[in-house]
Amino acid sequence: MKSSQYWTRTAGAHWVALAISALAVQGVPAVAGDLKPVKMSAPTSAAHPVPGVTEMRLDNGMRIIVKEDHRAPTVAHMVWYKAGSIDETNGTTGVAHVLEHMMFKGTKTLKPGEFSKKVAALGGRENAFTSRDYTAYFQQVQSRDLPKVMALEADRMANLVLSKEEFDKEIKVVMEERRLRTEDQPRGLMYENMMANAFQSSPYRAPIIGWMSDLETMTYRDAQDWYQKWYTPQNAILIVAGDAKPADVLKWAKDTYGKVKPRPVAERKLQAEPAQRGARRFAVKAPAENPYVMVAFHVPKLTDVDKDTDPYALEVLSAVLSGYDGARFTRELVNQKRIANSADSSYDMTSRGPSLFMLDGVPAAGQTVDDLEKALLGEIRRIAEQGVDERELSRVKANLVAGQVYKLDSVFGQAMEIASYEMVDIPYARSPDVINRLKAVSAEQVKAVAAKYFGEDAMTVGRLVPLPVDKAAPPKARGGRHG
């Protein structure tokens, strides 16, 4: 599975892949003896707007969404918690990701590592990932084994054991992961510094993996507090996609998740990001082969599927710039003008916190980061002045439709899409409307957002200043298996 940071760095690519690019496409954990069975809510009687999808809710508050796909005897089983680094506070940054690691370290009935061994014995695969907005756990198994992984996941929702001994070992793994994936990676450092400079008040300014100083002082009690605060049924969504019937999932959920006692969910108080009042610039010096530039702009996210317009146009703008082979950045800056070795754009219109539209690239030989920065901004300025032609829009929209068809081949992708919508408070049932709004974006709307959001005072620019690389140094070992 992708690392937490990489997952979030490419969150915009998730949308582009699924919708535009694929737009080609103090407390102790509750123990079993304390829990009493609760009554289950029946499946909703009204037909769900999305074919093959059934929604249910347990009386303890946990939502269940089942997406039927009976083409193969397999299922994707996921539990997503609405708790990510956006919910952290200074002093314990990284705790969401640390707890993700600790969720594999045993329960009242399972020894450390036994969860993964049991899934492997079923012939399945499992992993987890942490983002700024959520933390998710998944297994892919044969459909006949779905009740078994539901029981395993419900067990650690209720009965996780957090010991000082296991924590002290695992926190070292996380710190090494930070070194390997951020401190020893120039672009990882660049992205971390970009977020810290682009945001002033939003929790998005802190890295998902946490600041090293916070990891060094973190204790197992911090992880336990996080578990008690957020890992409760009414703060989770169960997604099952594949060869499963809703009635069966309901029955198995009653015997597993339905027995987990709910706890109150903490009140969320997210800070509003103040308006940027001038360009911000920073530099990162690190061993690297090439210089590199990143430019970020504050732009709106999608909050109302029907009323919002600009987020759809921004998503299409990003696809026009770099969403397919032969898009503007590759065609103009890499192939024709040879200003860049690589150039990219990214934007995620769905998030719990504020959104950024990012540009980045590596200058070609003989070119400087100044040249590339001007060229990146110049392409957006050209769209703001001249617009885009219908051929570009047609290409993007054809890829959108192809992506919608392609993603149906993967039950994992179907489950991911459902949960990704729901975690940012956009009902998955609105997904067809989102796609239709994207398909309806006009050339004039793309031109308008290109002119509206990319002024100099609104940008944050980061530059990587390469230092000599020690080529005699041994290659770095890979990090841990969980995100």
- Name which of 97-101, 290-294, 426-430, 472-476 the model is least confident about: 472-476
Of the pLDDT bands very low, low, confident and very high (cuts 50, 70, 90), residue 29 is: very low
pLDDT at 236: 98
On the question of pLDDT at 26 being above 50, the answer is no
Bridge pairing between strands 340-347 and 236-242 = unpaired
pLDDT tens across 324-362, in order?
A: 888 999 999 999 999 999 999 999 999 999 999 999 999
Task: State the average pLDDT over residues 286-296.
Answer: 97
Task: State the average pLDDT over residues 187-194.
Answer: 97
- Mean pLDDT of the chain, nearest integer: 88
Closest by Cα among 305, 169, 157 to 232: 157
Task: State the average pLDDT over residues 454-476.
Answer: 88
pLDDT tens across 142-167, in order?
A: 999 999 999 999 999 999 999 999 99
Question: Under 8 Å CB-to-CB from 152, ≥6 apart: which residues?
Answer: 110, 115, 118, 119, 139
- Please, which residues bridge with residue 283 across strands? 463
pLDDT at 49: 63
Closest by Cα among 423, 483, 447 to 173: 483
pLDDT tens across 297-315, in order?
A: 999 999 999 999 999 999 9
pLDDT at 474: 64
Inter-residue contact 364 to 290 (CB < 8 Å):
no
Query: What class, spelled out in words, does domain 49-259 have in CATH?
Result: alpha beta
pLDDT at 471: 78
Cα–Cα distance measured from residue 237 to residue 401, given in angstroms and rounded to the nearest whole number: 28
Q: Where are the domains of the chain?
A: 49-259, 280-467
Rg of the chain in Å (alpha carbons): 23
As given in the structure block, the two tokens for residue 71 are: 């083409």
pLDDT at 475: 60
As given in the structure block, the two tokens for residue 236 are: 């989770």
Helix 220-230, helix 164-178: angle, nearest 10:
90
Closest by Cα among 392, 330, 401, 385 to 362: 330
As given in the structure block, the two tokens for residue 3 are: 């690392």
On the question of pLDDT at 481 being above 80, the answer is no
pLDDT at 201: 94
Question: Under 8 Å CB-to-CB from 456, ≥6 apart: which residues?
Answer: 279
> pTM of the entire structure?
0.88
| 3-class DSSP string for the chain | CCCHHHHHHCHHHHHHHHHHCCCCCCCCCCCHHHCCCCCECCCCCCCCCCCCEEEEEECCCCEEEEEECCCCCEEEEEEEECCCHHHCCCCCCCHHHHHHHHCCCCECCCCCCHHHHHHHHCCCEEEEEECCCCEEEEEEEEHHHHHHHHHHHHHHHHHECCCHHHHHHHHHHHHHHHHHHHHCCHHHHHHHHHHHHHCCCCHHHCCCCCCHHHHHHCCHHHHHHHHHHHCCHHHEEEEEEECCCHHHHHHHHHHCHHHCCCCCCCCCCCCCCCCCCCCEEEEEEEECCCCEEEEEEEECCCCCCCCCCHHHHHHHHHHHHHCCCCCHHHHHHHHHCCCEEEEEEEECCCCCCCEEEEEEEEECCCCCHHHHHHHHHHHHHHHHHHCCCHHHHHHHHHHHHHHHHHHCCCHHHHHHHHHHHHHCCCCHHHHHHHHHHHHCCCHHHHHHHHHHCCCHHHEEEEEEEEECCCCCCCCCCCCCCCC
Which residues belong to the active site?
100
Cα–Cα distance measured from residue 173 to residue 245, given in angstroms and rounded to the nearest whole number: 40
pLDDT tens across 30-53, in order?
A: 222 222 223 334 443 333 467 899
- The percent of residues in the chain predicted with pLDDT above 70, rounded, is 87
Which residue reads 């590592």 in tokens? 113
Cα–Cα distance measured from residue 305 to residue 153, given in angstroms and rounded to the nearest whole number: 33
As given in the structure block, the two tokens for residue 465 are: 């200043």
Cα–Cα distance measured from residue 80 to residue 424, given in angstroms and rounded to the nearest whole number: 12
| Single-letter residue type at 456 | E
pLDDT at 325: 87
61: left (phi over 0), alpha (psi -120 to 50) or beta: left
Of the pLDDT bands very low, low, confident and very high (cuts 50, 70, 90), residue 87 is: very high
Question: Under 8 Å CB-to-CB from 10, ≥6 apart: which residues?
Answer: 2, 346
pLDDT at 259: 97
Cα–Cα distance measured from residue 81 to residue 125, given in angstroms and rounded to the nearest whole number: 20
Cα–Cα distance measured from residue 416 to residue 229, given in angstroms and rounded to the nearest whole number: 24
Cα separation values, 327 from 24, 232, 322, 392, 395, Å: 12, 45, 5, 8, 10
pLDDT at 476: 59
pLDDT at 48: 43
CATH superfamily for 280-467 is Metalloenzyme, LuxS/M16 peptidase-like (3.30.830.10)
pLDDT tens across 372-419, in order?
A: 999 999 999 999 999 999 999 989 888 877 776 777 678 999 999 999
Cα separation values, 478 from 55, 253, 276, 460, 482, Å: 40, 37, 38, 32, 12
More confident residue, 477 or 99: 99
Closest by Cα among 216, 178, 192 to 476: 178
On the question of pLDDT at 271 being above 70, the answer is yes
pLDDT at 200: 95
158 exposed, middle or buried (CB, 10 Å; 0-12, 13-18, 19+)?
A: buried
